[in-house]
Chains A and B, each alone.
Chain A
Amino acid sequence: MESPNNKVAGDQSFVAGILALIGRVLLAVSIPLISFYVLYLGFLFLRDSNAPREIIVLIAIIWGVGGVGILYWVFNWLVEKLPDQWKGRLLPFVFVGPAIAILSWYLAIPTLRTFYLSLFGRDGPPEGLSFIQQISSAAFVGFGNYASVFTQDLMVEAFRNNLMWIIFGSTFSVIFGLLIAVLADRSSFEKLAKSLIFLPMAISFVGAGIIWNFIYEYRPEGQTQIGLLNSIVTSLGGTPEAWPQWVAISPWNNLFLIVIVVWLQAGFSMVLFSAALKGIPEELLEAGRIDGANEFQIFFRIMMPYIQGTLISVWTTIIIFTLKIFDVVWVMTGGQFGTHVIATQFYRQSFTNRNSGFGSAIAIVLLIAVIPVMIYNLKRFREQEAF
């Protein structure tokens, strides 16, 4: 806020002050209004226009990306116009507000709704009744759905498999990602290596399913194997197997699915670790080398502590990915042959069986399962201090 000019005589300054104030208020109101109006026009154009596809797409991109930037700028400008004490109070909410609002609308409120649904039978709460009537109706089952979630055979199998996924899947994804990131950093063909490791990430899950079918594909013994793994196995004199569907070794057949996800996710952790490694100041590493540390010492004593934050965040995300793992299992086995996971059961119950109570309960159980990870992250969050 600019201070008013005190040198000018009272009358004039008063009028000018009033005018300036009115001007500011008008400006403050009109800028957001104008920006909203422009955005709204863009929205209408996109919804109703018959312009050529290319133009619509271009305008959509500009409008969508520019719109968000404009909104932040406008809100910040508005708050900056306020007196200081208000500014300090409101500014954080300009920064964090939109994110929290969107998250609440898209995920938090639906989650609460899901919890409510999980207390009812398969058709959910009877419609058109008040809250009190609903929870006293026959459809209300309390925590009955949760009881069956933890006792049903298939669910128990799903929990077991998810545990395998978390232990093996997340560990190997992180280790390979880190190993490749560090090696690539020191190698002579960094870009190429990283691109090739990243390649699987770019393939959709359906594509990945096809790719791995070329690895795991089974043909009866004595026929030409078209799956690479069985081709190798038979040429070494073994018997071909349909690896992910090999029930005899259950639950270890899950490992063949886990391999697919490690192959996909290593690119994810590699990219994030790479970004973090690039953030290590060169001076630090040089100092270490001058002190005569070898590469291993440098890695464990300088790099690891420096990227610890990234390590934890990557691990957290990958644990959550593996907890939610769905597509690969669905495409490869559909959860049969002892490969069900929590998410495939959730899908089955919610959509195939349309059992809204049971499906919702499974989704809430996922939330409960992530609590340890949350606590750990919160501890780190507390250590971090703001200004």
Chain B
Amino acid sequence: MKKVLWQVLALTLAASLLLAACGTPAPTEVPATEVDFPYPAGGALEEALKGSYSGTTVTVDGAFEGNDPDGVKFAESVKAFEEATGITVNYIGNKEFEATISVRVDAGDAPDIVDFPQPGKAAQFVAGGDIVPVSEYLSDEWLTQQYNQSWRDMVTFDGAEMGIFHRFNGKSLVWYPKKAWDAAGYEIPETWEELMALNQQIADDGDTPWCIGVESGAATGWAATDWTEEMMLRTTSLENYDAWVAGELSFDSPEVKKAIETWSELWFNDAYVYGGRSSIVTTFFGDSPAPMFEDPPQCWMHKQGNFITGFFPEGTVAGEDYGFFYFPPVDPAYGKPFLVAGDSMYMFNDRPEVRALMEYFTVPESASGWLQGGGALAAHQTVTPDMYGVELEKGIAELVAQATSFRFDGSDLMPGEVGAGSFWEHISSYVAGSEDLDTAMKAIDATWPK
């Protein structure tokens, strides 16, 4: 039953994206104020556009600093809202977000809205009853119009929809040095067999095909969890993936082990990885693609979300110096799944001006800073290609549209103990060779909070 549902959903998504590409849906309302974004009728946002809450302030907290590139994109995104309503949006995020948000909420000083990079982190606050459910201020009908159901499912905890999905990153992408690639005449692989054949071909030509690095300070190992999720989607059913994320399918199960062993045949083959297996755990994920851009390239492929372009050497141009392709499926039975990760918004304090901003986040224009500056895609099905100022994101959006199913980064949905703790640590130990697969998997299972 569930499987059918997902297929229907996936088709809806694909269809909606195609529709979106053809033309914008008609806005539901005639705007009260002249604004270039649609909004739900009869809500706080409509009231705010009449200037009713002018002069008030809404604070938003998140995991990026207010004046780093993401902070600037955020400010850019809410500019239209601020101008139209007179409400000031005050962003206070920082890099110690994990600690500060815990402290603030526990001390009763919660920000109005929190931008969580991982729904799993939000779950801890849902359990504490700190978050206002979405149903209290937004109609189901409006949300259905704005979002594909699966985005809504990702912010639904124990049957209650708690957040608004805002923007996301595509993860199932493989980057390659386009110029050299074309010169060498390598073909873009469409299946796992083709990919493995290409690996061998590049190795026979005397190079290592892959650049892989998972070091990330306290978060070392997260890149390896991404590969695990990709393989879970490609070697087993979506039901199993969902069960695994929910803690119902153990890490020690044959399905999860098979997924990890699938990428291990690539990772642990020293001829396929630049620097060999031993260097994976100690190479900073942001530095790892650098050898692709040397002349001649030292490696030819790198799998990572679209934010990685921020780490590419200065002056490299998308479409010229580098290209990307879809990380190919392994077993055709499971279609072409797409892995995503992204940010969702949660309301902690219920005031009309806060509701107005939450409503604004349900339209793609609220992510305009990222759409025009690059770095993320809008999670709304009403987004149109012309909203993207960057060709790269446009291309990724097309790839997402071609996917037969898509799923959210599993470790981001798991409880912190696992998703931001033992999963990272033990997968690193497994890659480093200090633990075998069975030991590592059992150790992760043991940390799942009862």
Residues of A at under 8 Å CB distance from B?
Answer: 122-123, 218-221, 223, 242, 245, 247-248, 250, 330-337, 344, 347-348, 350-355
Contact = CB atoms under 8 A, between A and B. Distances in A.
Contacts, number: 76
Contacts of B344: none
18 contacts: A122-B449, A218-B282, A219-B275, A220-B274, A221-B275, A247-B434, A332-B217, A333-B217, A333-B220, A334-B219, A334-B220, A336-B220, A336-B221, A344-B218, A347-B99, A350-B99, A353-B449, A354-B124
Given A245-B282, A247-B432, A336-B424, A353 B102 contact: no
Nearest to B125: A354
Contacts of A247: 429, 432-434
A248 B416 CA distance: 28
B128 A353 contact: no
Q: How large is the interface on B (under 10, 10 to 19, 20 to 34, 35 or more residues)?
A: 20 to 34
A219 B428 CA distance: 18
Given A123-B128, A247-B434, A352-B98, A330 B416 contact: no
Interface in B401-444: 415-417, 420-421, 424-425, 428-429, 432-434
Given A218-B279, A245-B281, A331 B217 contact: yes
Contacts of B275: 219-221, 223
A219 B290 CA distance: 12
Contact of B428 (A250, A332, A336): A336
Interface in B238-279: 274-276, 279
A218 to B, nearest CB: 5
Contact of B421 (A123, A223, A353): A353
Contacts of A352: 98, 416-417, 420-421
Nearest to B420: A352
Give the secondary structure class of A's interface. Answer: loop
Given A220-B275, A220-B276, A348 B217 contact: no
Interface of B: 98-99, 102, 124, 127-128, 215-221, 274-276, 279, 281-283, 298, 415-417, 420-421, 424-425, 428-429, 432-434, 449
A109 B124 CA distance: 26
Contacts of B102: 350-351, 354
A332 B160 CA distance: 39
A23 B233 CA distance: 85
Given A123-B128, A350-B102, A352-B420, A330 B283 contact: no
Nearest to B429: A247
Contacts of A219: 275, 279
A337 B432 contact: yes
A350 B425 CA distance: 18
Given A223-B275, A330-B217, A242 B282 contact: yes
B61 to A, nearest CB: 14
A122 B218 CA distance: 23
Nearest to B294: A223
A220 B428 contact: no
B421 A348 contact: yes
A353 B417 CA distance: 5
B217 A354 contact: no
Contacts of B128: 123
A334 to B, nearest CB: 3
